């Protein structure tokens, strides 16, 4: 199964130029977290649960001993079934979730567009959400002001920028989210399932913008179930299954293997036995 071997996966570009600087290095990363499976964590439930002697904290091993390196300028697609750990991996690279084991090294400013969308407070206007989001990412006030104009223009929301975000449709929210993420001038952009809600025109526009970012030698991680998008945008892909790295290589090969796996329904264990 040599085609599945990760060490085969160096991209043509990387081979041609070994001096390309590193963007992200993930070493033996495992992320395990404890989460509550209660409907609502409250004192009331805790007390009545203690009476019954139940436990509602569950350990989730979302990412399991994953290692890979990504050179600057790569567009990396991340694919895998639901619950494969894709979003957790993205959050760990963004520094939102702490690793349980292993190490993540990130070179450069990261900007995220993660699956839960933007927005901080539905009561606040789009404008205020943009400013607060930018400041929370660590930008200065002047930088946020500069970027605000570009964001507003790219999102094409016009007057809606001054309306509370709760009045936005999911498509409007997604457009604003994408505009914020790409205009933060990140060195590394993480996009998680966020392109699906825009309309066709905005999708084209965002694909165009992503190609621009890549042309500027930015690194881009794209999590998507739309294999077509992954094939179109990414030169390399990474396939996760149940927290493990199954395969990494040129997009076409990985996507083909993944598609076959989903049809055939092989278990990950058969793929692990290299």
Partner 1 sequence: MKALVRTGRQPAPSVPVQVYTAQRMRLPRLGTYLSDLWTRRHFAQHLIRTQLRTQQSGTVFGQLWLVINPLMLALIYFVLTNILRERSGGAPFLAHLTVCVFAFHLVSTSVTSSARSVTRSGKLILNTAFPRSLLPIAAVLTAFVRFLPTMLVYAVIHLYAGLPIGWHLLWALPVLAELVVFSLGIGLAVSALQVYFRDLSNFLPYAVRLWLYSSPVLYYVDEVPHGIKPLLAWNPLVPMLASWSRVLPEGHVPHLHLMLQGAAWALGALVVGGLFFVSREREFAVRL
Footprint on residues 134-163 left by partner 1 (CB under 8 A): 135-138, 140-141
Nearest residue (CB) to partner 1, 169 versus 204:
169
- Closest approach of Cβ 223 to partner 1, in Å? 14
Instruction: Please tell me the distance from the alpha carbon of residue 248 to that of residue 207, in angstroms, as a whole number.
Output: 23
How is residue 201 written in tokens? 């025109």
- Closest approach of Cβ 252 to partner 1, in Å? 19
Question: Which residues have C-beta within 8 Å of that of residue 15, sequence separation ≥ 6?
Answer: none
Using the rule CB under 8 A, give the single segment among 128-136, 154-162, 223-231, 262-270 that binds partner 1: 128-136
Instruction: Please tell me the distance from the alpha carbon of residue 69 to that of residue 221, in angstroms, as a whole number.
Output: 12
Q: Does 117 bind partner 1 (CB under 8 A)?
A: yes
Q: End-to-end alpha-carbon separation of the chain, Å?
A: 6
Instruction: Please tell me the distance from the alpha carbon of residue 145 to that of residue 140, in angstroms, as a whole number.
Output: 9
Contact residue for partner 1 among 7, 201, 208, 264 (CB under 8 A): 7
Instruction: Please tell me the distance from the alpha carbon of residue 148 to that of residue 127, in angstroms, as a whole number.
Output: 8
**Site string (11-50) toward partner 1, x via CB under 8 A:** ---x---xxxxx----xx-x--xxxx---xxxxx-x----
Nearest residue (CB) to partner 1, 147 versus 244:
244
Do the Cβ atoms of 236 and 11 come closer than 8 Å? Answer: yes
Nearest residue (CB) to partner 1, 20 versus 229:
20
Nearest residue (CB) to partner 1, 3 versus 232:
3
Q: Does 201 bind partner 1 (CB under 8 A)?
A: no
Nearest residue (CB) to partner 1, 263 versus 273:
273
Q: What is the secondary structure of 190-246 as a DSSP string?
A: EEES-STTS-HHHHHHHHHHHHHHHHTT-EEEEE-S-HHHHHHH-SEEEEEETTEEE
Using the rule CB under 8 A, give the single segment among 67-75, 200-208, 225-233, 254-262 that binds partner 1: 67-75
Nearest residue (CB) to partner 1, 161 versus 245:
245
């Amino acid at each position: 199964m040599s085609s599945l071997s990760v060490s085969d996966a160096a991209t043509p570009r990387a081979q041609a130029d070994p001096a390309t600087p590193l963007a992200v290095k993930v070493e033996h990363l495992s992320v395990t977290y404890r989460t509550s499976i209660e409907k609502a964590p409250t004192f009331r439930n805790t007390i009545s649960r203690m009476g019954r002697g139940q436990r509602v904290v569950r350990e989730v091993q979302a990412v399991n001993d994953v290692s890979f390196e990504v050179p600057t300028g790569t567009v990396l697609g991340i694919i895998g079934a639901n619950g494969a750990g894709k979003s957790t991996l993205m959050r760990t690279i963004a520094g939102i979730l702490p690793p349980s084991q292993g190490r993540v090294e990130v070179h450069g400013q990261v900007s995220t567009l993660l699956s839960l969308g933007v927005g901080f407070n539905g009561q606040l206007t789009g404008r205020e959400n943009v400013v607060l989001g930018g400041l929370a990412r660590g930008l200065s006030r002047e930088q946020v002001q500069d970027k605000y104009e570009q964001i507003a223009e790219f999102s094409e929301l016009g007057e809606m920028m001054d309306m509370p975000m709760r009045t936005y449709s999911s498509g409007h929210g997604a457009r604003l989210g994408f505009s914020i993420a790409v205009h933060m001038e990140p060195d590394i952009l993480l996009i998680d399932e966020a392109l699906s809600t825009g309309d066709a025109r905005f999708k084209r526009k965002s694909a165009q913008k992503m190609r621009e970012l890549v042309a500027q030698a930015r690194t881009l991680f794209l999590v998507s179930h739309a294999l077509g998008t992954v094939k179109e945008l990414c030169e390399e892909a990474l396939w996760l299954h149940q927290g493990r790295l199954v395969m990494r290589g040129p997009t076409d090969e990985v996507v083909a293997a993944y598609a076959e796996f989903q049809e055939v329904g092989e278990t990950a264990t058969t793929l692990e036995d290299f």
